[in-house]
Structure 1
Amino acid sequence: MRTPKSTVQTPKGTVQTHREAPSPADIKRWRQYLADERAEAAVYRELAQRRDGEEREILLSLAEAEGRHEAHWLRLLGEQAGMPRAASTRSRMLGFLARHFGSVFVLALAQRAESRSPYATDPAATRAMAADEQIHEEVVRGLATRGRNRLSGSFRAAVFGANDGLVSNLSLVMGMAATGVPTTVVLFSGVAGLLAGALSMGAGEYVSVRSQLELLKATRPTQVTLSAAPSLDIEHNELVLVYLARGMSHEAAEHRAAERMGVYSCDCDPSLSLHPEEDQAPDEHEAVGSAWGAALSSFCFFASGAIVPILPFIFGLGGFAALVTAGTLVGVALLGTGAVVGLLSGTSPLTRGLRQLAIGLGAAAATYGLGLLFGTVVG
């Protein structure tokens, strides 16, 4: 067997070879890099199969770049590459999600994986490879952002609705239980909190979306310029004011007003002959959906969170055991919603989950303390 060559990185980022054999630790690390590059390339190819057009080409280009990195480690390992090694748990999880879901969650995870590349500090990796990984993070961030924008509205309603239900009803249940009232009173208080909160959320979302729709409708141009233009006085042409108010330049406004009044039609500068009164496709950022649909969604999201704290009481538990069980269930749910927020935002799922947990249980502990105080004073 030939003697493997170790590598070092020169200031220009090229790789020079030396006769010293790499250490077992080097070989182990390089083989892991090789396995992870293969797995990441497979993830991008899987995601590309679920997309078309520009996004597909971008993902395939990322897979090709990971292939170049794979070739680098193969060259270094030579005969020591051995049998294919299992990729890291993170890379295998990404591959599973990409094969079965192909969603924005996978891109968010891939973005985080690219940001944690060890190539910047590994002398066996070239500067170009380290730079590639940094650029890959930005590319995947851009793709993930498209998905985040597509689901931002529904995701916001789901997370905030469920979190509100979890925290507010747990706080209510804890506060009521701390006063020493019977278990049935705690249960009915929780049910009342669920219904009141869900109805309030639904009503608030209905009013919000309805108001936004009415605001958008009020800002869209009407067809009045088409019907009123022929009767206007040419010498006192107030139609110009309409187009000036819509943000046109004075030249464009006068040109459009003359067109509307049938004075002339412009063939020399098409940009002055726009037709804003004609029906246009709604801006995707203005597609706010149905007010009733938003209200129903908010009601269900809040209720799905608010029912968790009262589940122990529904199934017959009481006293301290019910409170501990309710706190545990809510804690798990808060960790889950926080982790999802972390994944989609490209930050640590654990950090976001612990933050949600601290906020929720902190609020519950505060109301429990107030309940104890109130119960002592009244008692």
Structure 2
Amino acid sequence: MRAGETVARRVSLRIGGMSLPMPSARPARTAADVRRWRRYLADERAEAAVYRDLAGRRTGEERDILLALAAAEGRHEQHWLDLLGDDAGRPLRGDLRTRVLGWLARRFGGVFVLALAQRAESRSAYGQDVDATPAMAADEQIHEEVVRGLATRGRNRLSGTFRAAVFGANDGLVSNLALVLGIGASGAAQQTVLLTGLAGLLAGALSMGAGEFISIRSQRELLEASTPAPSAARALPHLDVDANELALVYRARGMAAGDAQRHADQVLTRLAVAGTTSGATPADLHASHAAEEAAGVAPDDADDLETHGTAWGAAISSFCFFASGAVIPVIPYLFGLHGTTAVVVAAALVGIALLATGAVTGLLSGTSPLTRAARQLAIGYAAAAVTYLLGLAFGTTLA
């Protein structure tokens, strides 16, 4: 009997002279069931294609993981094919979100696409659908975590520069809009407002770039100061095994005394067996990852340096994005607009830009783009409104 096929009759089973009815079979499939199953089938096919496209742009472990996800979507696809049977019909197209995701995967395949795929997995309806198995619902939840892990690698690689870019663009948009509206509301001439906006653009961009450079360089210097020195590693094979002062290094980095002594004995024994100083590395001066994390010390400084980005990269990114954001409120005045018209156009342009940056941030962070966009807009407009009202107040007072 095909999955989903109806059975209207009840089967009786006689036990000790009693007639017990067997439970009724699943109700007859409806046209709505068939449509829903076909939609699920189309989405599974589309999602499998997305993962294959992403795998085609990667190598090694990431490629294998993505292909495994595609194979899992293939198992889900087969489930719906079994349910549909002869009703599978011609293949449908996946929903719009999945088709857009596939288009992006074929052309870009970066962290942005992985972030979208993470959100797509989180929206699975299998947990509430009686026709999806518990294993399928569990698969989708785990798939979200797998994609989150892959996306995290990309987020870590771009987080330093991306953070500077987002902060720079939003600071440029909000601060220069507030500056332009405040000066404009005071009754200043159009030329004055324009010059003020351009001065704010240049001053703010230089300040942001310099601030990011100093911030990232200082952070890297602090991390480098916590990294064991190569010269200390070369001294390890010459330590007194009986005294074993290497244990003090591990204790200073947060390891318990007993654990530190055992770990130090293991390291020195390994070096003694090797019989050469070339086997010692700065990593031998680290405590275990667990102990370092408990003590608040990063076990892998290279990863931290990668996460924070380069000082020059962050500075240039911050300068450029601040300038690109700060120029938007000035555009109406560059085209000769003034008064209320210029204020309305500047506010509208900045509002669109704030929505865009908020949505992109939301997508990359795996949260709702609409929520992030609305938050960016509300904060930006609130700051601009305060300075605009102050400008009106000062303008009235001066008049």
Is contact 2:244–2:265 with CA below 8 Å preserved after alignment? no
Deviation at 1:158, TM superposition (A): 0.7
For 1:322, the equivalent position in structure 2 comes to: 342
Q: 1:17 to 1:132 in 2, by over 3 A?
A: farther
Out of 284, 295, 311, the residue aligned to residue 303 of structure 2 is 284
For 1:123, the equivalent position in structure 2 comes to: 130
1: distance between equivalents of 2:130 and 2:107?
Answer: 36
2: distance between equivalents of 1:86 and 1:113?
Answer: 16
Deviation string, structure 1 residues 50-97 (Cα, Å, up to 9, x no partner) = 112221111111111111111111111111111111211111111111
Deviation at 1:224, TM superposition (A): 5.9
2: distance between equivalents of 1:289 and 1:347?
Answer: 23
- Give the 5 Å matches for 1:217-228: 217-222=224-229
Q: 1:104 to 1:275 in 2, by over 3 A?
A: closer
1: distance between equivalents of 2:195 and 2:84?
Answer: 68
Is contact 1:244–1:253 with CA below 8 Å preserved after alignment? no
| Structure 2 length-normalised TM | 0.80
Q: 1:254 to 1:367 in 2, by over 3 A?
A: closer
Q: 1:360 to 1:224 in 2, by over 3 A?
A: same
- 1:96 is the counterpart of 2:116: no
Deviation at 1:200, TM superposition (A): 0.9
Instruction: Report % sequence identity.
Output: 63
Q: 1:355 to 1:6 in 2, by over 3 A?
A: farther
Q: What letter is aligned with 2:5?
A: K
2: distance between equivalents of 1:227 and 1:346?
Answer: 45
For 1:372, the equivalent position in structure 2 comes to: 392
User: Which runs of 5 or more structure 1 residues have no equivalent in the other structure?
Assistant: 8-15, 260-264
- 1:42 is the counterpart of 2:61: no
Is contact 2:160–2:314 with CA below 8 Å preserved after alignment? no
Q: What letter is aligned with 2:318?
A: S
Q: 1:19 to 1:224 in 2, by over 3 A?
A: closer
For 1:144, the equivalent position in structure 2 comes to: 151
Q: 1:87 to 1:290 in 2, by over 3 A?
A: closer
2: distance between equivalents of 1:44 and 1:150?
Answer: 21
Deviation string, structure 1 residues 123-168 (Cα, Å, up to 9, x no partner) = 1111111111111111111111111111111110111110000000
- 1:266 is the counterpart of 2:286: no
Q: How many residues align?
A: 364
* Aligned-partner SS, 2:273: coil
Q: What letter is aligned with 2:40?
A: Y
- 1:332 is the counterpart of 2:332: no
Deviation string, structure 1 residues 254-294 (Cα, Å, up to 9, x no partner) = 979x99xxxxx722999xx8442999996131245543443
Q: What letter is aligned with 1:208?
A: S
2: distance between equivalents of 1:78 and 1:252?
Answer: 63
Q: What letter is aligned with 1:276?
A: P
Is contact 1:223–1:277 with CA below 8 Å preserved after alignment? no
| Cα RMSD for the two superposed structures | 3.8
Q: 1:239 to 1:91 in 2, by over 3 A?
A: closer
2: distance between equivalents of 1:20 and 1:225?
Answer: 75
For 1:11, the equivalent position in structure 2 comes to: none
1: distance between equivalents of 2:81 and 2:333?
Answer: 60
1: distance between equivalents of 2:29 and 2:251?
Answer: 73
For 1:355, the equivalent position in structure 2 comes to: 375
Is contact 2:228–2:283 with CA below 8 Å preserved after alignment? yes
2: distance between equivalents of 1:304 and 1:133?
Answer: 40
Q: 1:185 to 1:6 in 2, by over 3 A?
A: farther
Q: 1:240 to 1:338 in 2, by over 3 A?
A: closer
| Structure 1 length-normalised TM | 0.84
User: Which runs of 5 or more structure 2 residues have no equivalent in the other structure?
Assistant: 8-22, 287-299
* Aligned-partner SS, 2:282: coil
For 1:12, the equivalent position in structure 2 comes to: none
2: distance between equivalents of 1:22 and 1:240?
Answer: 70
